[in-house]
Chains A and B, each alone.
Chain A
Amino acid sequence: MGLMLAIRKRFGFILKLFFKKDKMRIGIYGPPNAGKTTLANRILRDWTGDVIGSPSDVPHETRRAKLREGVKIEVDGKSLTIDIVDTPGLATKIDFHEFLKYGMDEEEAKRRAKEATEGVIEAIKWLDDLDGVLLVMDATEDPFTQVNVTIVGNMEARNLPLLIVANKIDLPNASPARIKSAFPQHPVVPISALKGINIDSLYKAMAERFG
């Protein structure tokens, strides 16, 4: 690790008390299928009018990180300009057999699995170039996974602001409370990216956390 990077990592949070960046680069992270692309599209549609990528039932649909610059969000008279990075889902394992269930043949499934492994690496590399993270979790699932623990740990180690998004609260078995109790030291905003529930609270929290 370079000396400057080491210094920035260790003392960055002090620097941040004095200097404020005028533009923040925010990464959208989380496990596959949490709703990252759906959320990125919702944010872009609300503030720019276009979309970033296609959401899908099939895991690892997003296999390259996508960047959209200069998204201006306005909340209560305050405005925040962010660059948004929609990242491929993070995973510790990728089994091509899983893709066979979605009607792919073996060759296609293996190709997709290979691209998915590359996507994970790309998402990890992006961690070094961000000013904040929206960590998206599927609120119907167990939040205590290695992927979530690793993302949270890396944000803490880098002293970067983190906002946890408890997505899919439109589903009956969603439990944002379980997410809150798993990561009590970070703010959690329950939303449905698909149905557009509670999105205004998310923008407010983003303005507070990243502004």
Chain B
Amino acid sequence: MEGVQMHLISKEMLEKMPSMEKLRMILDNVKEGKIVVLETGLTPEEEAKLIEMTMLEIDHENFIGIEVESYPVKERSVFSKLFGKPKGRLTVIGPANRLKTLEKQADVIKALVQV
């Protein structure tokens, strides 16, 4: 069967991984043409770091960047600002030439994957 490989990574797995390891895993898979689905997403800082790493690895031939689908983090209380860590929500990341956002709303994301 022809198709695009998808990796669905659980919250438990993600929580065990250090940031850089997580971002490296995502980028390596995406550069191989795979789609990565994260049960809990990245923190805003990790998202920024992922964009930065992506920019460094764009080669203007095979890899032109990533497409990321995620929801905004819900507003945080003063309590969680003091003691909590910002937690991202469900996130899908794929190569920009394969994954395309069709429509994004507050709680629904529609995307197209090219085989």
Contacts and interface: CB of A to CB of B under 8 A. Distances in A.
Interface of A: 10-11, 13, 90-96, 110, 113-114, 117-118, 120-121, 124, 127, 142, 144-146, 149-150, 152-154, 156-157, 159, 181-183, 185
Contacts, number: 96
* Chain B binding surface SS class: mixed
Given A120-B51, A152-B72, A91 B44 contact: no
Contact of A159 (B51, B55, B66, B81): B81
Interface string B9-40: 00000000000000000000000000000000
Contacts of B8: none
Contact of A150 (B47, B64, B86): B47
Interface in B47-94: 47-48, 51-52, 54-56, 58, 60, 64-73, 75-76, 81-82, 86, 88
5 contacts: A11-B82, A95-B65, A117-B58, A149-B70, A185-B75
Q: Is the interface of A mostly helix, strand, loop or mixed?
A: helix
A93 B105 contact: no
A103 B74 CA distance: 43
A181 B104 CA distance: 12
Contacts of B55: 94, 117-118, 120-121
Contacts of A118: 55
Nearest to A127: B48
Contacts of B106: 144, 181-182
B64 A95 contact: yes
B106 to A, nearest CB: 7
Interface string B88-115: 1000000011000101111000000000
Contact of B73 (A93, A156, A181): A156
Contact of A94 (B43, B47, B58): B58
B2 interface: no
Contacts of B45: 154, 157
Contact of A95 (B51, B75, B96): B96
Contacts of A144: 104-106
Interface of B: 43-45, 47-48, 51-52, 54-56, 58, 60, 64-73, 75-76, 81-82, 86, 88, 96-97, 101, 103-106
Contacts of B88: 153
Contacts of B71: 149
Interface centre among A93, A121, A124 (most CB of B within 10 A): A93
A145 B101 CA distance: 9
Contact of A124 (B52, B67, B69): B52
A142 B103 CA distance: 8
Residue from A127, A157, A181 with most neighbouring chain B CB atoms (10 Å): A157
Nearest to A186: B75
B65 A91 contact: yes
Contact of B72 (A95, A114, A149): A149
Nearest to A93: B65
Contacts of B43: 153, 157
